Structure 1
Amino acid sequence: MTAARAWWARIPDPVVDLVVVAVAVVDVLVSLEDSSRLAQAMAALACAALLARRRFPLPVFLLTLPASLMLDIVFAPFAALFTLAERSRDRRLLVVCAVLFAVASATPWPLDDLSSHDRTWTLVYFFYTLATAAAPVLLGQLVQARRDLARRLEEIEEAREHERLLHSQAVLARERAQLAREMHDVVSHQVSLIAVQAGALQVAARDPDFKEGARTIRSLSVDTLDELRHMVTLLRASGGRATELTPQPTLADLHKLVTTSGIDAELTGELPPDVSTTAQRTIYRTVQEALTNVRKHAPGATAVVRLWHADDGDAFGVTVTNTPPARPSLPLPGSRQGLIGLRERAELLDGTFASGPTGEGGYEVTLHIPTQSG
């Protein structure tokens, strides 16, 4: 199945369109016998319109109906109907189009008075054609669903890979933190004792050489202890401990966060220059959680991250707004702990956090921080 899909994917779209038009022309030529100039013109229009079926599926389908009414053709309207079903999510529209095709195919041309017997066969042919028209509609919907599912599976796999990376980083951070504790509690303690003992020997020693050796041991122990303390600080910082040297995200990291979020997102606006470090981390985590939720629950949506501050200088914050999802999303479990955590972060700064759907069907989160707290 993968090899077949790869083979189809390698065929350029213009080549496929030319093949479709060629088959439609053959289908038309078979039915052109004793046809009028008007029918021939409508048939030519239907075949030519298939070249634009990917960009304008509904108008192209409508252009094939006159030829279906005047001639006994099926391929051109079927190709247009399949393309429309593949690209449209409006099932009512697809039903209406299938009925229109059945009416155009079943209605006799030229239009004249029909006997009761002819009307009966016309009705039978209508239902037969309607059932036949269901094939391209169902096939187009199947292709659309399969494409959406494949795209969603890719997104889930990317999310799982990201979670595995975060898990490995967390494990590494715990190991570094544990190593830092061992170095601090054991190694540093032992080296401190060596330095103390060497200092005592240096004071008590009578022999100059012995005194110099004790001084050297003490000096090396103190230098080693300083190096150990520096290494412990670095290990704790990389292990996620709350130290002054711990690398925490700031507003300078927002651009990278937005551009690497995996969605079509835009960063606009600005904040006051004197925003505290704690407020910068809170804004960063708010944007990070909001973009993660967009990617998880609104596949294909676009987002705008807007930094703002009040004209009177009393408050500032960030608003993340996303459009409605462009395709259906699979139901994924969620504990909503992320939004709860963002609300708690905002409360620590005497701010507020709000989230909810927009009138256009999207979603919006807003972080509001008073200037005195930020």
Structure 2
Amino acid sequence: MWPNLAYDMTYWQSAAGALGAAALLFRRRFPFTVFLCTLPASLILGLLFAPFVALFTLAERSRDRKLLVGCALLSGVVSSVSWLLSGEASEEHTYSLVQSAYLLAIAVTPILLGQLVQTRRDLARRLIEIEQRREHERALHEQTVLARERAQLAREMHDVVSHQVSLIAVQAGALQVATKDPDARETARTIRSLSVGTLDELRHMVTLLRASGGRATELSPQPTLADLRRLVATSGIEAHLTGELPPDIGTPAQRTVYRTVQEALTNVRKHAPGATATLRLWHDAGHFGVDITNTAPTRISLPLPGSHHGLIGLRERAELLGGTLNSGVTPEGGYQVRLRAPLATE
């Protein structure tokens, strides 16, 4: 009878060990089931390696803290029972408590290591996400800067290029009407036609370039108040400049005044042929500005295309200075543009 019992125990020990070892092959796919399959080997053979590996894998993959605590207690209890059944237990209670605590610590250790690995993996993933977010924000910043540069370029194209081309168109139209030479009239008509086409293409380009958030730094070289009288003298219309501005206003403010005058004179040439313009520079204790007022037109204006971005750009410039830009028809039938900004703009 005893030999058969010994044979049965050996059989069950071998079966438990084989089950625990085989189950470890599937620990990554079924970590909890594999842990349960390793408990017989721990109970019958007193093996701690298989439950240790299974618990580590379970703790590495699971986020259920209650499940992990329960598995750690279960593993500690099974190890304590196996130790008691082995006959190595001592009658001294202190030793038994120390051994039980030791077995429980062994059961908790893989849980802590698995959670540590899981936390490290989460941190690494989080760092990757943060880096990706920074790259995304960096790309958005670059797009914003590009949009502002496009808007600034559109504003400069309208202020500078259209100013010159519209003057060419106006002068060519005037020559076409005044000359009696057929060849000169045809040449003037061609120049005016090309100028009008150029203005129309410029309008499309400005529309494409204008993007949101276009408040970038000015392009160089940029005009100042010293260039204002030359601008008025070469405007192609009868214009009178009076008043003056403080000599210590900042460069952005000077550019804004210049561009305002330039745009206003361009509009007078385009939409009020034969009109005269009066430009008044002014300042008081807290503000400065310029008023551009033109009389009613004396001739029918030529059908030149308009981009409708001039006053928008001027208002943006005025807002950058903390000021305002107002425009409207005068009671006499003319038109007035008024820029007003605080002196402390720097």
Q: Which has the larger radius of gyration?
A: 2
Q: Is the 8 A contact 2:46 2:82 kept in 1?
A: no
Q: CA deviation at 1:189?
A: 2.5
Give the one of 54, 63, 67 matched to 2:37: 63
Q: What is the 5 A alignment of 1:100-179?
A: 100-108=74-82, 111=85, 117=91, 121-179=95-153
Q: Is the 8 A contact 1:50 1:76 kept in 2?
A: yes
Which residue pairs with 2:196 in the alignment?
Answer: 222
Which residue pairs with 2:54 in the alignment?
Answer: 80
TM-score, structure 1 as length reference: 0.51
Q: Is the 8 A contact 1:85 1:140 kept in 2?
A: yes
Matched, 1:186 2:160: yes
CA distance in 2, matches of 1:101, 1:184: 80
Which residue pairs with 1:207 in the alignment?
Answer: 181
Which residue pairs with 1:325 in the alignment?
Answer: none
Count residues with an aligned counterpart: 209
Which residue pairs with 2:64 in the alignment?
Answer: 90
Q: CA deviation at 1:123?
A: 3.2
Matched, 1:196 2:170: yes
Q: Hey, which bits of structure 1, 4+ residues long, moved more than 3 A?
A: 108-116, 118-123
Q: CA deviation at 1:88?
A: 1.2
| Unmatched 5+ stretches in structure 1 | 1-32, 242-374
| Change over 3 Å in CA distance of 1:191–1:113 after alignment to 2 | closer
Q: What amino acid sits opposite 2:18 in the alignment?
A: A
Note the alpha carbon deviations across 1:124-163, whole angstroms, 9 max, x for none. Answer: 3221111122321111101101111111111111111111
| Change over 3 Å in CA distance of 1:112–1:215 after alignment to 2 | closer
RMSD of equivalent CA atoms: 2.8
CA distance in 2, matches of 1:107, 1:182: 87
Most deviating of 79-88 and 201-210 = 201-210
Matched, 1:46 2:6: no
Which residue pairs with 2:234 in the alignment?
Answer: none
Note the alpha carbon deviations across 1:328-374, whole angstroms, 9 max, x for none. Answer: xxxxxxxxxxxxxxxxxxxxxxxxxxxxxxxxxxxxxxxxxxxxxxx
Q: What amino acid sits opposite 1:185 in the alignment?
A: D
Note the alpha carbon deviations across 1:156-199, whole angstroms, 9 max, x for none. Answer: 11111111111111111111111112222331132112101111
CA distance in 2, matches of 1:191, 1:166: 36
| Change over 3 Å in CA distance of 1:193–1:114 after alignment to 2 | closer
Q: Is the 8 A contact 2:166 2:195 kept in 1?
A: yes
- Secondary structure of 1:223's match? helix
Q: What amino acid sits opposite 1:53 in the alignment?
A: R
Q: What amino acid sits opposite 1:201 in the alignment?
A: L
Q: CA deviation at 1:115?
A: 7.9
| Change over 3 Å in CA distance of 1:146–1:132 after alignment to 2 | same
